[in-house]
Amino acid sequence: MAPKRINAMKDIIYIKDLRVETIIGIFDWERKVKQEVSIDMEFPFDCKKAAKTDSIEDTVDYKTICKAVIKFVEESSFQLQESLAEGIASLVKDEFQVESIKLRVSKPGALRGAKDVGLIIHR
């Protein structure tokens, strides 16, 4: 029996609690006022080359990603967090060629008694 091959673990670049105001929700009042959403993103990425070269060209430019996500979210007006999350994931994967993304989107204070409510997707 051949020895089990261990998959090389990838590093993770993350952005936590990116706060953006947008129109989101299903109720009439939610269509008239901006609400804050919180976004977490994780990208698997092999950071060895960037660590060696110390060059932004060899890594994921998370500042540029944040600017694009902020612009997208601010200009959007989705009813569902699910739709917003899917749009963010598609933007990041398509425009920044990240292999995959784990994304959390939440609306802080959306439910009485809960700190926040949201969803986590993997694409």
Q: Going from the N-terminus, what domains does the chain have, and what CATH number goes with each?
A: 11-122 (3.30.1130.10)
- pLDDT of 109 reads 85
pLDDT in tens, 73-83: 999 999 999 99
Cβ pair 15, 66 in contact under 8 A: yes
Mean pLDDT of 94-117: 93
Q: The whole model's pTM is what? A: 0.88
Distance of CA 39 to the CA centre of its chain: 6
Kindly name the residue from 71, 93, 107, 115 that is annotated as catalytic. 107
Give the pLDDT of residue 104. Answer: 98
Is 52 annotated in the active site? no
Q: What is the pLDDT of residues 64-73, one digit of tens each?
A: 999 999 999 9
